[in-house]
Amino acid sequence: MTINFTLNEIQHIAKQILATPSLKKVITFHAEMGAGKTTLIKAIVTELGVQSNSSSPTFSLVNEYEAKNGEIIYHFDLYRLNTETEAYDMGIDEYFYSGNWCFIEWPEKTPNLIPIDHATIHIKQNLDNSRTLVLNN
Protein backbone atom coordinates (compact mmCIF):
# COMPACT_ATOMS: atom_id res chain seq x y z
CA MET A 1 0.00 0.00 0.00
CA THR A 2 1.33 3.44 -0.93
CA ILE A 3 -0.24 6.59 0.53
CA ASN A 4 0.59 10.27 0.03
CA PHE A 5 -0.47 12.45 2.96
CA THR A 6 0.15 15.57 5.00
CA LEU A 7 0.66 15.62 8.75
CA ASN A 8 -2.87 17.07 9.09
CA GLU A 9 -4.15 13.68 7.84
CA ILE A 10 -2.04 11.57 10.21
CA GLN A 11 -4.94 10.21 12.29
CA HIS A 12 -6.75 9.08 9.13
CA ILE A 13 -3.54 7.41 7.91
CA ALA A 14 -3.20 5.58 11.25
CA LYS A 15 -6.76 4.23 10.80
CA GLN A 16 -5.93 3.08 7.26
CA ILE A 17 -2.82 1.26 8.45
CA LEU A 18 -4.70 -0.52 11.23
CA ALA A 19 -7.44 -1.51 8.77
CA THR A 20 -4.90 -3.39 6.63
CA PRO A 21 -6.01 -7.04 6.40
CA SER A 22 -3.76 -9.41 8.37
CA LEU A 23 -1.54 -6.56 9.57
CA LYS A 24 1.44 -7.96 11.43
CA LYS A 25 1.87 -6.78 15.02
CA VAL A 26 5.60 -6.12 14.69
CA ILE A 27 6.11 -3.09 12.44
CA THR A 28 9.42 -1.46 11.59
CA PHE A 29 9.51 2.22 10.63
CA HIS A 30 12.13 3.42 8.16
CA ALA A 31 12.68 7.12 7.46
CA GLU A 32 15.14 9.94 7.84
CA MET A 33 15.25 11.88 11.09
CA GLY A 34 12.28 14.26 11.27
CA ALA A 35 10.18 12.52 8.61
CA GLY A 36 7.36 11.67 11.03
CA LYS A 37 8.00 8.18 12.40
CA THR A 38 7.21 9.12 16.00
CA THR A 39 4.23 11.26 14.97
CA LEU A 40 2.74 8.36 13.02
CA ILE A 41 3.36 5.89 15.85
CA LYS A 42 1.66 8.27 18.31
CA ALA A 43 -1.37 8.40 15.99
CA ILE A 44 -1.47 4.59 15.67
CA VAL A 45 -1.17 4.18 19.45
CA THR A 46 -4.08 6.60 19.91
CA GLU A 47 -6.16 4.62 17.38
CA LEU A 48 -5.41 1.46 19.35
CA GLY A 49 -7.03 3.06 22.40
CA VAL A 50 -4.14 4.38 24.45
CA GLN A 51 -5.40 7.35 26.41
CA SER A 52 -2.18 8.44 28.13
CA ASN A 53 0.33 10.65 26.37
CA SER A 54 2.67 8.75 24.12
CA SER A 55 6.14 10.03 23.29
CA SER A 56 9.36 8.87 21.73
CA PRO A 57 11.34 6.52 23.96
CA THR A 58 14.60 8.05 22.74
CA PHE A 59 16.33 7.82 26.11
CA SER A 60 14.66 4.72 27.52
CA LEU A 61 14.69 2.71 24.22
CA VAL A 62 11.17 1.37 24.88
CA ASN A 63 7.89 2.84 26.08
CA GLU A 64 5.06 0.57 27.15
CA TYR A 65 1.44 1.66 26.77
CA GLU A 66 -1.79 0.03 27.82
CA ALA A 67 -4.89 0.44 25.67
CA LYS A 68 -8.35 0.75 27.24
CA ASN A 69 -8.98 -2.90 26.36
CA GLY A 70 -5.89 -3.94 28.35
CA GLU A 71 -3.75 -4.64 25.29
CA ILE A 72 -0.04 -3.83 25.73
CA ILE A 73 1.78 -1.82 23.07
CA TYR A 74 5.55 -1.35 22.83
CA HIS A 75 7.22 1.58 21.08
CA PHE A 76 10.97 1.28 20.46
CA ASP A 77 13.39 4.00 19.42
CA LEU A 78 16.70 2.22 18.81
CA TYR A 79 18.58 5.27 17.53
CA ARG A 80 20.88 5.50 20.56
CA LEU A 81 21.83 1.82 20.61
CA ASN A 82 25.55 1.25 20.22
CA THR A 83 25.47 -2.47 19.48
CA GLU A 84 22.98 -5.20 18.75
CA THR A 85 24.30 -7.02 21.82
CA GLU A 86 23.11 -4.12 23.97
CA ALA A 87 19.56 -4.68 22.68
CA TYR A 88 19.78 -8.42 23.17
CA ASP A 89 21.04 -7.97 26.74
CA MET A 90 18.00 -5.83 27.57
CA GLY A 91 15.75 -8.68 26.39
CA ILE A 92 14.46 -6.96 23.28
CA ASP A 93 13.71 -10.28 21.60
CA GLU A 94 11.20 -11.09 24.37
CA TYR A 95 9.27 -7.94 23.48
CA PHE A 96 9.39 -8.72 19.75
CA TYR A 97 8.01 -12.24 20.24
CA SER A 98 5.47 -11.33 22.95
CA GLY A 99 2.48 -11.25 20.59
CA ASN A 100 1.90 -7.59 21.47
CA TRP A 101 2.10 -4.62 19.12
CA CYS A 102 5.73 -3.57 18.62
CA PHE A 103 6.49 -0.35 16.73
CA ILE A 104 10.21 -0.08 16.03
CA GLU A 105 12.05 3.07 14.96
CA TRP A 106 15.61 2.63 13.64
CA PRO A 107 15.34 -1.17 13.21
CA GLU A 108 18.57 -1.20 11.22
CA LYS A 109 20.33 -1.02 14.60
CA THR A 110 19.16 -4.61 15.35
CA PRO A 111 18.89 -6.34 11.96
CA ASN A 112 19.47 -9.83 13.35
CA LEU A 113 16.88 -9.48 16.13
CA ILE A 114 13.84 -8.28 14.14
CA PRO A 115 11.39 -11.17 13.60
CA ILE A 116 11.29 -12.43 10.03
CA ASP A 117 7.48 -12.11 10.06
CA HIS A 118 7.04 -8.34 10.39
CA ALA A 119 5.56 -5.43 8.48
CA THR A 120 7.55 -2.42 7.30
CA ILE A 121 6.60 1.19 6.86
CA HIS A 122 8.84 3.48 4.82
CA ILE A 123 8.18 7.22 5.02
CA LYS A 124 9.69 9.74 2.65
CA GLN A 125 9.33 13.48 3.14
CA ASN A 126 8.53 15.21 -0.14
CA LEU A 127 9.64 18.66 -1.27
CA ASP A 128 6.16 20.09 -0.63
CA ASN A 129 6.34 18.79 3.00
CA SER A 130 3.85 16.01 2.29
CA ARG A 131 4.88 12.41 3.00
CA THR A 132 4.81 9.23 0.97
CA LEU A 133 4.24 6.09 3.02
CA VAL A 134 4.78 2.56 1.76
CA LEU A 135 3.43 -0.30 3.88
CA ASN A 136 4.64 -3.83 3.22
CA ASN A 137 2.77 -6.35 5.33
pLDDT digits (tens, 9 = 90+) for 10-43: 999 999 999 999 999 999 999 998 889 999 999 9
- Domains (ranges, CATH) in the chain? 2-136 (3.40.50.300)
How much is the mean pLDDT over the chain? 91
pLDDT at 53: 62
If one compares 67 and 20, the residue with the highest pLDDT of the two is 20
Per-residue pLDDT for 55 more than 60? no
Q: Return contacts of 77-80, CB within 8 angstroms, 24+ apart.
A: 77/38, 77/105, 77/106, 78/104, 78/105, 78/106, 78/107, 78/109, 78/110, 79/105, 79/106, 79/109
